[in-house]
Amino acid sequence: MSFQVSGKVAVVTGGSSGIGLETVRLLLEQGAYVAWCGRDAARLQDSWQAMAVIFEPDRLHIRCCDVLDADAVNAFIDEVAQRFGGVDMLINNAGQGKVASFADTSDQDWMTEVQLKYFSVLNPVRAALPYLRQSPIASIANVNSLLAYKPEPHMIATSAARAGLLNLSKGLSKEFVDMGIRVNSILIGMVESGQWQRRYQERSDPDQSWDDWLAGIARKRGIPMGRLGKPIEAARALVFLASPLSSYTTGSVIDVSGGFSQEI
């Protein structure tokens, strides 16, 4: 089935790795024009090279920028709109979580985490809004986490900030509905991506393989489907929410957690 995004323009923040990169790939497979950003220039360039050997470079656009830098985000999105003629879909994916309990989280850590979760969405939304208002299929899809519903003590600041982001997404969906802009989120559990690769590098048993290490986490955490998610599984839900296939859905969430959510 087609996602009906051929010829449409998508912006994916944090598109150089993991879920973001799979989202970029899927949108390109579906015929969209895709722009993405990341902070690390070499990693971003590598992701462009990987896409450019498969897809027409005319449909690819990258810019090295931190989503917390409002001026840089404005410049990125203006440049995309000028090059591709507008912005139809904004996918807010850039970010990372902070593993720390209450005892280990300083005031500065709290500020950093709240700033990341809110402004990684607010800055791109502000920048893209004038263009989204012109689009007949305008949509914003935010990557969020099951932590928004289900706080974990070892990620206390991330959990609280994620809950705020979920509330913010709902609020934006209400404010933007009259502009014809839909706003939705995915709630992910654990997805094997760059963040988990970095944690694997710090594993206690250096002889343990990646697959065994992941299987151990799934077992220990009690994920009903018995494994972590793949980045493409999160990407499919994101592209569905960003695309006209979900044209009657706003202010909503899709759970991509392998059954880890206990909510009904």
Q: Which residues bind ligand NDP (CB under 6 A)?
A: 13-14, 16-20, 37-40, 43, 66-68, 93-97, 143, 145, 188, 190-191, 193-195, 231
Angle at 154 between CA 150 and CA 158, to 5 degrees: 60
- 108 vs 148: CA distance, rounded Å: 21
Query: How far is Cα 78 from Cα 49, in angstroms, rounded to an integer?
Result: 23
Minimum CB–partner distance for residue 205 and ligand NDP (Å): 21
Nearer to ligand NDP, 135 or 193 (CB): 193
State how far the Cα of 147 lies from the Cα of 125, in Å rounded to an integer: 22
Torsion of CA 109, 114, 115, 117, to 10 degrees: 120
Nearer to ligand NDP, 96 or 134 (CB): 96
- Residue 146 CB, nearest distance to ligand NDP (Å)? 7
Nearer to ligand NDP, 88 or 192 (CB): 192
The strand pairing partners of 9, in sequence order, are: 33
Measured from the CB atom, the residue of 133 and 183 that comes closer to ligand NDP is 183
Give the shortest CB-179-to-ligand NDP separation in angstroms: 25
**Bridging pattern class, strands 253-256 and 60-64:** unpaired
CB 65 within 8 A of CB 72: yes
Choose between 129 and 237: whose C-beta lies nearer to ligand NDP.
237
Q: Minimum distance from CB of 160 to ligand NDP (Å)?
A: 14
Least separation in angstroms between CB 17 and ligand NDP:
4
